[in-house]
Structure 1
């Protein structure tokens, strides 16, 4: 682990978000394994909410997929690792509140909870499986321009 990854791990232990993630993983009967870069991988999540293929609480990355699929998707794991850093930056428990405010603001502005969400954009929309609805498609030839 790098010193930054170790610092994130310690911060998320101190702010209790990793403990909260671990308790959620245990309560939902996931398979818990040690992951790369100080992360804990919880796989086989079956509860209805949140409706996501993966989500992070502290340094615990919770996947619906089986362990081999969870660890076999380094792009999504990297996206979730950035959310782990968000927990450290936001001092733990405030992060979900700030995340949901950002998601609501994004939904109001773009009609999508991820496209305008600072945290999802920072973690990488495409890496998280999101489509950036803020990108405008080019207008068809002759549309929007002046008539000759």
Structure 2
């Protein structure tokens, strides 16, 4: 791990988001394993919310995909890792409220929670399966998230 990745790991433990992520993973009976760069991959998440194929709480990345498949898509993993960094620089739990505000603003502007969301844009819209409505691709312009 780089010093920055170690700092993110420590920050997300101290700001309580990684412990929260571990509790959610355990409560949802997800299979946890060590991921790269100080991340924890939790596979087989089956709760109804959120609807995403993958999402992050601290340094824990929760996937709907089963163990052995979860974390293998390096592009999606990189997107979720950037959310982990966002938890660290937002000092942990405030990220959840800030993300909610950004998702609401995106809904008002674009009709979906991702395309105009600062945090999703910073993490990489395409990497997270979102359509950039400012630069739609021929594959579609629905602005919906692609399930992993």
Structures share fold, TM-score greater than 0.5: yes
Stretches of 4+ aligned residues off by more than 3 angstroms: none
Residues 136 and 67 (structure 1), Cα distance of their counterparts in 2 relative to 1, 3 Å cut: closer
Question: How far does residue 14 in structure 1 lie from its aligned partner after superposition?
Answer: 0.4
Query: Could you give the per-residue CA deviations for residues 21-41 of structure 1, whole angstroms, max 9, x where no partner exists?
Result: 000000000000000000000
The runs of 5 or more residues in structure 2 that have no matched partner are: 138-148
Consecutive unaligned residues of structure 1, counting only runs of 5 or more, are 138-148
Across the two proteins, how many residue pairs are aligned to each other? 137
Map of 1:119-134 to 2, 5 A cutoff? 119-134=119-134
| TM-score, length-scaled by structure 1 | 0.90
Q: 1:136: how far off?
A: 6.0
Post-superposition offset of 1:133: 1.8
Matches within 5 A, 1:32-51: 32-51=32-51
Map residues 66-105 of structure 1 onto 2, 5 A cutoff.
66-105=66-105
* Partner Cα separation in structure 2 for residue 67 and residue 3 of structure 1: 28
Distance in 2 (CA, whole Å) between partners of 1:129 and 1:56 is: 15
Which of these two proteins has the greater Rg computed from alpha carbons?
1
Q: Distance in 1 between matches of 2:131 and 2:76?
A: 14
Match of 2:8 in 1: 8
Q: Distance in 1 between matches of 2:105 and 2:71?
A: 32
Q: TM-score, structure 2 length as denominator?
A: 0.90
